[in-house]
Structure 1
């Protein structure tokens, strides 16, 4: 086997869980073969360069093998080799995600939780008054 459809290869190389997910990503323009936009039926061969976007990260791969069957992860990793630039960009993106703060972590105020509500009720010394107005 010298050539294989790109959607089958991406599925066999374990980049996508199903072929239909691979087809969706290809149709959205997130997969390129040799710097050209791909279609699901486009054939890929050994030596081709495949660029695909997974989230915010763009991975650049060189095809090293062809397989139409989805196998174990160690076998799937032998089907491609990631370029040095792609590995460096992925490491840099991971470092950026690690250093960036979680946006929700900066929120100090908001709706009280159940525990907060109980603490507030304990602190309030309303006694038998049912209204906040002065008598």
Structure 2
């Protein structure tokens, strides 16, 4: 089975074209080698790929016939991604919460321009 189709079948990518583009960009490695989307995958292969700033590591257990349900994904792969990869993702989410919420505090440069554009519009006589 092709690597792009496998990533789609085990629900790591929403579409095959997304999986294909990830392979073309060099985000997918099979047995420590960067691969093309047409590379065949076999049981016991180790796949490393980057998605959403997380480096996933999975081992192929079996090849599915087609896309499988979320509950059946564990039959076809073993996820060996280190837990610290997910912890760094949580830290990134917390870092983004630092910035102000919309409508709180001083207006940004964009907000100021929108306000100026609103007041600079010519008034129409009725």
TM-score normalized by the length of structure 2: 0.75
Distance 2:18 2:65 in 1: 16
- Say if 2:54 is the partner of 1:52: no
**Structure 1: gaps of 5 or more residues:** 113-135
3-state SS in 1 of match to 2:5: helix
3-state SS in 2 of match to 1:43: coil
Match of 1:17 in 2: 14
| Shift in CA distance, 101/13, structure 1 to aligned 2, threshold 3 Å | closer
Q: Deviations over 1:43-93 (max 9, x none)?
A: 11111100010121100111111113002111123211111xx23123322
Cα RMSD after superposing both structures: 2.0
Following superposition of structure 1 onto structure 2, how do residues 30-109 of structure 1 map, counting pairs within 5 Å? 30-83=27-80, 86-105=81-100, 108-109=105-106
8 Å CA contact 2:54, 2:86 repeated in 1: no
Report the structure number with the largest CA radius of gyration. 1
